[in-house]
């Protein structure tokens, strides 16, 4: 099993907005486990946690975002401007033993 952390360091005052946006947009996504905000450590972080059976499954999950479906168009419209709410980000991929 593979666990992926997509980490966003938001501009001050935007972490909860980004978390709510991700929760709304990713509703129904079977790979999504949690959307978390920091309580200790670095401030203004939003971490989106996803779970996949394998790295291949993770790679295949990106294919749906490339499709020009009505669902993807709606997602893109909702996500418009979200890049203005964060400063930087990173991704961590873990193998579960």
pLDDT value of residue 77: 85
Q: Which two tokens stand for residue 95?
A: 């193998």
Task: Give tens-digit pLDDT for 22-80.
Answer: 999 888 888 999 999 988 888 999 999 999 999 999 999 888 777 778 877 888 888 88
pLDDT value at residue 41: 84
- Which positions ≥6 away from 11 have C-beta within 8 Å? 44, 85, 86, 87
Residue 1: pLDDT above 80?
yes
Any idea what DSSP says for residue 52? E
Q: For the whole model, what pTM was predicted?
A: 0.87
- Reported for 71-80, long-range contacts at CB under 8 A and 24+ positions apart, including other chains, are 75/25, 78/21, 78/24, 78/25, 79/21, 79/25
CATH: 3.50.50.60, 3.30.70.100, 3.40.50.620, 2.102.10.10. Which one for 2-95? 3.30.70.100
Residue 7's pLDDT band, with cuts at 50, 70 and 90, is very high
């Amino acid at each position: 099993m593979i666990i992926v952390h997509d980490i966003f360091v938001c501009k001050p005052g935007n972490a909860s907005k980004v978390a709510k946006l991700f929760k709304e947009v990713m509703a129904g996504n079977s790979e999504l486990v949690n959307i978390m905000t920091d309580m200790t450590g670095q401030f203004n972080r939003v971490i989106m946690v996803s779970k996949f059976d394998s790295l291949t499954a993770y790679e295949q999950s990106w294919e749906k975002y490339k499709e020009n479906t009505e669902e993807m168009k709606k997602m893109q419209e909702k996500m418009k401007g979200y890049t203005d709410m964060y400063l930087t980000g990173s991704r961590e991929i873990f193998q579960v033993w």
